[in-house]
Structure 1
Amino acid sequence: MIEALLGDETFHGMMKRHTREIVELLLQKGVHFSILTNISDVTFDPMLPESITQNFKPITMFFLAGYTFESTYIQEDMVYFEAGFGSDNFGSLVSVPLDGILQIVIEEVPLFINLSTPSKIAKKEPKEKGIKRSMEALMSNPENQKLIKK
């Protein structure tokens, strides 16, 4: 039951709006914070050298303070900020989708946890392909073939 709620598009939209509202409030109030995100959802411009990215964990925390905080803004459904990486402070514009923010943390205390788990497959596939894939999965079991009238 809980999985159905966490994957529900309405719930996902609500969590996304709430994420935006919290980030906007923290930016407005000047409160430094961190975001925890899946690194596969993050984009860097320019791309970071492999010597830096190889050290990233699948779930990575970004600290938004100082210049990084000052450069942070929201546009459409993305959070953007400039940050320096590695010993050479390699500069890059970081973009994170709002729904890719898993947690918002202040002083090591989680302020917000995004529990929604939208189906990325359902978002990317047209409805017809989803139905076809469901039918293929159903028919892969020989016992289910007797359910189809010939």
Structure 2
Amino acid sequence: MTPTTHPPVKPQKIQELFPDAIISKITPASKHPRYNYDGFNPGRRLLEAGHVRFPGRRPFGVQTIYERDRAITVRDGTRLYADIFRPVTSDTQPVPCILPWSPYGKTRTGPQNYDFMAPYRAGIALDRTSSYEKFKAPDPAE
């Protein structure tokens, strides 16, 4: 594949090429109505069996340790931050790890969630998700 050598197209040029186009600046995440990021807050909580984040959402079936914004250092020294959900029994018994990754945020922090993506939550009932899920990843309450 040959790399492109074209300079970026300026907004004025786009407007000339597409006079009907409406060009507007992207709303910053802090002012966007569908972003709900509440800051960097490392910590650890115990979610009791039956815990629900919001009324009508899927409850957790077992006691679960929720570690928010946990640092994971990779080989080159870079720190990645993840939300970790694991059963209380994992302190004494090994459990398998599922490590979902995507550009869509973590633990319901961006607009890519079922409440906004499609009519009627894309057919997924509210009580099927815990509100701790991220788009395209398993729900930790499953």
TM-score range, shorter chain: under 0.3
* Greater fraction strand: 1
More helix, by proportion: 1
TM-score (norm 2): 0.27
TM-score (norm 1): 0.26
